[in-house]
Amino acid sequence: TLFYDELTTEVIADGKHLSADLLQLALKIKGPDRLALVTDCSRALDMPDECTYLIGPQDGGESFVKRDGVGMLPDGTALASSVVGMDHMVRTFQALTGRPLWEVVRMASLTPARIAGRDRDLGSIERDKCADVVLLDRRLDVQRVFIEGEEVQRIG
């Protein structure tokens, strides 16, 4: 998808799937309007390392091991999934590329909303849009979560 200007590219910026160089290359080629931060996070989110988890249905899913901050096939030969949320993707992409925070947040919010055809309702703070907001602290850790303007989670 990097080759075609009209296509959007999705990157998993967990620091495991793609190197800093590849993230910077993808951004240089696509720009913040065509590069979306995504996560293929599994059930291992916030769970301990060196344990086995399932991808897919509870009955019949594929097993993987969470190791060193990423999901791996049990034999360790390949990545199986990311094991971190979008807040981690934002922190990691910003740290690895040095891009301005507003640009990175756009790639995690408005760009994916546009791809999904939902940018009239989601992806930025504007009048008549859903008031879904995540407040981050200076370290880019989640502090508060609002859905449709109602606080649903407060950390700390």
- In order of 37, 51, 71, 118, the CA distances from 107 in angstroms are 6, 32, 23, 14
Q: Where in the sequence numbering do the catalytic residues fall?
A: 40
* β-pair partners for 106: none
Which two three-digit tokens encode residue 129?
């849009």
> Rounded to the nearest 5 degrees, what angle is found at the Cα of 130, between the Cα atoms of 128 and 135?
120
Radius of gyration of the chain (CA): 17
How many CB atoms are closer than 10 A to CB 77? 7
How many CB atoms are closer than 10 A to CB 130? 16
- In order of 58, 71, 151, the CA distances from 132 in angstroms are 30, 29, 9
